Structure 1
Amino acid sequence: MIFAYNKETIGDTLLVIVANDENKENQTERKKNVARIQTADGKTVAWNFFDASQYVTIEGNGQVTLSDDDIDVLNKQLEMAGFEERLAADHEPKIVVGYVKTCVDHPDSDHLHITETEVDNGQVLQIVCGASNIAAGQKVVVAKPGAMMPDGLMIWPGKLRGVESYGMICSAKELHLPNAPEKNGILVLDDDAVVGEAFPVGK
């Protein structure tokens, strides 16, 4: 679940993205200050909460973090609007330090690699990466499914050349870090970086 807010560009509206929107043929139903966005077959992919700053405290732009109390307030808005669905709190960091346990060549590509990358307490994700400098034994920055990058790109599970991938191993440029090099390649962290810790990104 991705919470996104940017008052300057879209106004005082909190976006809650709950699923990957692939077909783009959506239906919108608005009740009071809440709009539900669904696919043609009735799957909810997002919510819009209008005039959001009147009932929740939102800090920052882009992907934002909400407290349990904020989630309760949003669920109350859903209830008052007459929607039966409810939001669940998710405080797990989405952009974190990872450790590349294995890295092998993609069987159907001359530049892609298939990694097994640990992201927290033994949790390992299969991530396909195209960076030439990726290698086993590195500590890297991983955007897990449910992350929103500083440029607005949302990360969801997918497939690259037929191989499932559950996240993205990031470059400094993709993270909008100061003085990020223009050349391609993932950001390799120092050995003392702690696997699973949230990694701060630019906005």
Structure 2
Amino acid sequence: MNLFYNPKGVGNVAFLKIDTVEGPFEYEKYGDIVAIKKENQVVGLNIFNADEHLTLEGQGHIKFTEAHANAIQKAIDASALDYQLNADFSPKFVVGYVKSKEKHPDADKLSVCQVDVGTETLQIVCGAPNIEQGQKVVVAKVGAVMPSGMLIKDAALRGVASSGMICSMKELNLPNAPQEKGIMVLDDSYTVGQSFFNA
């Protein structure tokens, strides 16, 4: 979920993006809450009089926290909208271990990897030339928002399912990132499954 707040440009309205879908949308107003729907599913919320419901610091893209989720749920419950937020606050950028690497059956430059992220093993299709079995890597899990703004979703690359992305330093917007293509390989001091940015 992504929370946006731009009081100078838009006024005292917060926008919570729940799902990334293309319009057109339907809008239903419930007091200070406007439910944004697509095919009768809530895909976003506008929270009017936002600073009365939420503690918001800064503007633009705001880091969505459990406190925000609780405050928005309280505002929803006080309105006539029947909706339960299901926010996932588990880390989205984690240390993974490449258990196996196989050649993609339909693309020379792609590899199909099985990556242990601590709680599960993800199948991730990777195009980096330096990916190898036995490496510790940074994995952007489904639901992660990259520094570029791209949302990581379940996908199929040339017909092979891929859940997540193995990241390069450049993709993570880290300082001194090399220009050549290649994923970031971590040393053994990192623990599989730990949050990368809190490491």
Whether TM exceeds 0.5 here: the answer is: yes
- Provide the residue aligned with 1:183 in structure 2: 180
- Provide the residue aligned with 1:164 in structure 2: 161
Question: In percent, how many aligned pairs have the same letter?
Answer: 40
CA–CA separation in structure 2 for the residues paired with 1:11 and 1:148: 25
CA–CA separation in structure 2 for the residues paired with 1:71 and 1:45: 15
CA–CA separation in structure 1 for the residues paired with 2:18 and 2:87: 12
Q: Give the aligned residue type for 1:115.
A: C
* Per-residue Cα deviation, 1:81-106 (whole angstroms, up to 9, x for no partner): 32101113422111111111111111
- Provide the residue aligned with 2:17 in structure 1: 17
CA shift for structure 1 position 139 = 0.7
Asked whether the equivalents of residues 5 and 15 of structure 2 are also in contact (C-alpha less than 8 Å), the reply is no
Q: Give the aligned residue type for 2:155.
A: G
- Provide the residue aligned with 2:44 in structure 1: 46
Give me the TM-score of the superposition, normalised by structure 1. Answer: 0.84
CA shift for structure 1 position 117 = 0.5
* Per-residue Cα deviation, 1:13-57 (whole angstroms, up to 9, x for no partner): 544333342x43332334333232222x22222223344344333
- Provide the residue aligned with 2:75 in structure 1: 77
**How many positions carry a matched residue from both structures?**
196
Q: 1:137 to 1:85 in 2, by over 3 A?
A: same
Structure 1, unaligned stretches of length 5 or more? Answer: none
- Provide the residue aligned with 1:138 in structure 2: 135
CA shift for structure 1 position 119 = 0.9
Asked whether the equivalents of residues 58 and 64 of structure 1 are also in contact (C-alpha less than 8 Å), the reply is no
Q: Give the aligned residue type for 2:83.
A: E
| 1:152 partnered with 2:137 | no
Aligned-residue RMSD, C-alpha: 2.5
1:107-146 alignment runs, 5 A limit: 107-121=105-119, 123-146=120-143
CA–CA separation in structure 2 for the residues paired with 1:160 and 1:196: 24
Q: 1:187 to 1:85 in 2, by over 3 A?
A: same
- Provide the residue aligned with 1:198 in structure 2: 195
CA shift for structure 1 position 179 = 1.3
CA–CA separation in structure 1 for the residues paired with 2:10 and 2:166: 29
Q: Give the aligned residue type for 2:33.
A: V
Aligned-partner SS, 1:107:
coil
Asked whether the equivalents of residues 53 and 75 of structure 2 are also in contact (C-alpha less than 8 Å), the reply is no
| 1:31 partnered with 2:30 | yes
Give me the TM-score of the superposition, normalised by structure 2. Answer: 0.85
CA–CA separation in structure 2 for the residues paired with 1:63 and 1:114: 34
Aligned-partner SS, 2:138:
strand
CA–CA separation in structure 2 for the residues paired with 1:12 and 1:138: 47
* Per-residue Cα deviation, 1:39-80 (whole angstroms, up to 9, x for no partner): 2x222222233443443334676462412x432221121123
Structure 2, unaligned stretches of length 5 or more? Answer: none
Q: 1:47 to 1:176 in 2, by over 3 A?
A: same
Bigger Cα displacement from structure 2, 150-159 vs 86-95: 86-95
